[in-house]
């Protein structure tokens, strides 16, 4: 026995209390007795007992009433009711009110041993459950969301405030910024954390596949549907469904999705039975959904249904101060995975990383660090381990004009502002190049 189980015996008959006391003491339990419900409740308020063994018929407050009160003090208390006058009604009532079991006095010594053994097993299972829950929480914490920059702190703050609610969330941000990690953080901090987080990458599936994936299908619904299959909405019951790349779904799926979000019920492909599921929706996209709504590509009603809360994950170039932290984190992660000693980073290499625009965001940085650990000398990550040339350190521009301006300037600098050579390299005539210089107000820097 790892932990001493404590038992409170509540019975108005002294002989019963004494008998049970002696019996349990010999079994090594911690035992206390109370002669009525009132005393038992006051003992329970002061001290916690694992098992309460209580008589139903007692003067004053009876055992059933006491059971209800005990449940208000400690809902998970294991209460075993006993009586000399067994009726089916009282037994059923006791069990309905939350009693663990019900026994008729006098009982067989073996029954008593079994009863207490079962209750002890239940207690250890409950304790184990608590320990496992704690472990799950610590496993699913948001440690992958690295960053101390103001932008990232703001994201974490939003995650924290939205997690406890049931509101739909749209996570926006460029590819590779960690939108799924944000979704995971919301889920693992929400009351739904002990239930599944089901991810669906909408962009990777065709319309019919996505439909079958989300709603499930019945056997024979289409060629290849040889079994009944649960859909992701069904799997996410009591949990969260994460719809990545939501902007890629077809207009037909948008209608279907809106209906499911409104009714929280759906029918499997090829089926006719309505299935209910209680899930929370978190979506992610790297596109401007509002613009898509304005252009009539994305349904407005679905947009407003999904966009209760919007969390924008900043691109890495807007939080370069987080790069050292991220580099450190990925080094530890991959060195541990590859069973290597933890490496350090050369300051020059770190500076280059901080200057690099990372169009692929954190995903790109992560891959870069992983590669550097593989090809590196095992002690320090240096410039030569990084797959970036200095000239590659080009910011990621959204508009074509900005890109053109940057490229023209780069070529002009390369050819020392020799217009003819630069125009030849750019494969444009000299007049066009002059026009570009004028348009972008380019100037030679000394």
Partner 1 sequence: MKPENITLISFGYFEKRFLGEIMYDVEREFRIPVVIQEGHLDLSEYFDPARRQYNGNLLLRDIDKQFASDQVKTLALFNIDLYIPILTFIFGQAFLNGRCGIVSAYRLYNERYGIKADERVFIDRLCKEVIHELGHAFGLIHCPNPTCVMRSSTYVEDIDQKSWSFCAKCKKELE
Length of the chain: 446
Closer by beta carbon to partner 1, 13 or else 354: 13
Work out how close the CB of 62 gets to partner 1 at its nearest, in angstroms, rounded to a whole number: 19
312 vs 124, 169, 284, 285, CA distance in Å?
44, 10, 10, 10
Q: Which pairing describes strands 240-244 and 280-285: parallel, antiparallel, or unpaired?
A: parallel
- In angstroms, what is the minimal distance from the CB of 49 to partner 1? 18
CA distance 256 to 265: 11
Identify which of residues 22 and 87 has a Cβ nearer to partner 1 in the complex: 22
Q: Which is nearer to partner 1, 13 or 180 (CB)?
A: 13
Q: Which is nearer to partner 1, 106 or 387 (CB)?
A: 106
Cα of first residue to Cα of last residue in the chain, in angstroms, is 82
In the complex, least distance from residue 19 CB atom to partner 1, rounded to whole angstroms? 4
Q: What does each C-alpha distance from 400 to 358, 397, 405, 408, 443 come to in angstroms?
A: 18, 7, 9, 12, 20
Instruction: CB nearer to partner 1: give 55 or 366.
Output: 55
Binding site for partner 1 (CB under 8 A): 1, 13, 15-16, 18-20, 22-23, 25-28, 82, 105-110, 112-113
**Minimum CB distance to partner 1, residue 27 (Å):** 5
Rounded to 10 deg, the angle between the 430-439 and 419-426 helix axes is 100
Instruction: Rank residues 113 and 420 by Cβ distance to partner 1 and give the closer one.
Output: 113
**Least spacing, CB of residue 76 vs partner 1, in Å:** 25
**What is the closest distance, in whole angstroms, from the C-beta atom of residue 110 to partner 1 in the complex?**
4
Alpha carbon distances (Å) from 223 to 169, 215, 220, 227 = 36, 17, 7, 11
Q: Which is closer to partner 1, CB of 11 or CB of 244?
A: 11
State the nearest-atom distance from the C-beta of 52 to partner 1, in Å: 15
Cβ neighbour number for residue 184 with a 10 Å cutoff = 22
Tell me how far apart the alpha carbons of residues 266 and 321 are, in angstroms, rounded to a whole number.
Answer: 46
Nearer to partner 1, 114 or 157 (CB): 114
Nearest distance, CB of residue 63 and partner 1, angstroms: 15
Q: Are 195 and 241 in contact (CB under 8 A)?
A: no
Phi/psi of residue 33, nearest 5 degrees: -130, 150
Q: Are 387 and 368 in contact (CB under 8 A)?
A: yes
List all residues 6 or more positions away from 414 whose beta carbon is below 8 Å from its beta carbon.
Answer: 422, 425
- Residue 401 has phi, psi (to 5 degrees) of -60, -45
């Amino acid at each position: 026995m790892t932990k001493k189980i404590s038992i409170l015996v509540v019975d108005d008959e002294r002989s019963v209390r004494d008998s049970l006391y002696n019996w349990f003491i010999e079994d090594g339990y911690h035992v206390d007795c109370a002669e009525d419900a009132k005393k038992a409740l006051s003992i329970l308020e002061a001290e916690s007992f694992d098992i309460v063994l209580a008589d139903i018929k007692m003067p004053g407050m009876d055992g059933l009433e006491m059971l209800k009160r005990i449940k208000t003090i400690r809902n998970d208390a294991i209460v075993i009711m006993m009586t000399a006058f067994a009726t089916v009604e009282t037994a059923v009532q006791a069990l309905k009110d939350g009693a663990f079991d019900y026994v008729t006095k006098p009982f067989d010594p073996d029954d008593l041993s079994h009863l207490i053994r079962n209750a002890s097993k239940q207690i250890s299972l409950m304790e184990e459950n608590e320990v496992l829950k704690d472990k799950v929480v610590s496993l699913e914490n948001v440690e992958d969301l690295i960053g101390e920059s103001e932008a990232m702190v703001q994201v974490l703050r939003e995650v924290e405030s939205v997690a406890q609610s049931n509101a739909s969330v749209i996570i926006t941000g460029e590819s590779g910024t960690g939108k799924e990690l944000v979704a995971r953080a919301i889920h693992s901090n929400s009351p739904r954390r002990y239930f599944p987080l089901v991810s669906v990458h909408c962009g990777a599936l065709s319309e019919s596949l996505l439909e079958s994936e989300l709603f499930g299908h019945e056997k024979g619904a289409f060629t290849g549907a040889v079994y009944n299959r649960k859909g992701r909405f069904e799997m996410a019951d009591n949990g969260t469904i994460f719809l990545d790349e939501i902007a890629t779904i077809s207009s037909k799926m948008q209608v279907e999705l809106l209906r499911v979000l409104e009714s929280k019920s759906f029918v499997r492909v090829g089926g006719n039975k309505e299935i209910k599921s209680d899930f929370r929706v978190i979506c992610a996209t790297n596109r401007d959904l509002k613009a898509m709504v304005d252009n009539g590509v994305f349904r407005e009603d679905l947009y407003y249904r999904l966009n209760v809360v919007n969390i924008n994950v900043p691109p890495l170039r807007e939080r370069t101060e987080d790069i050292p932290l991220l580099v450190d984190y990925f080094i530890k992660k991959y060195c541990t995975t590859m069973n290597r000693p933890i490496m350090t980073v050369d300051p020059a290499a770190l500076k280059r990383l901080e200057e690099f625009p990372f169009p692929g965001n954190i995903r790109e940085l992560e891959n870069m660090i992983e590669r550097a650990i593989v090809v590196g000398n095992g002690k320090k990550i240096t410039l030569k381990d990084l797959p970036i040339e200095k000239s590659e350190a080009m910011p990621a521009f959204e508009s074509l004009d900005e890109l053109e301006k940057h490229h023209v300037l780069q070529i002009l600098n390369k050819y020392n502002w020799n217009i003819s050579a630069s125009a030849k390299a750019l494969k444009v005539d000299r007049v066009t190049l002059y026009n570009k210089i004028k348009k972008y107000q380019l100037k030679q820097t000394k």
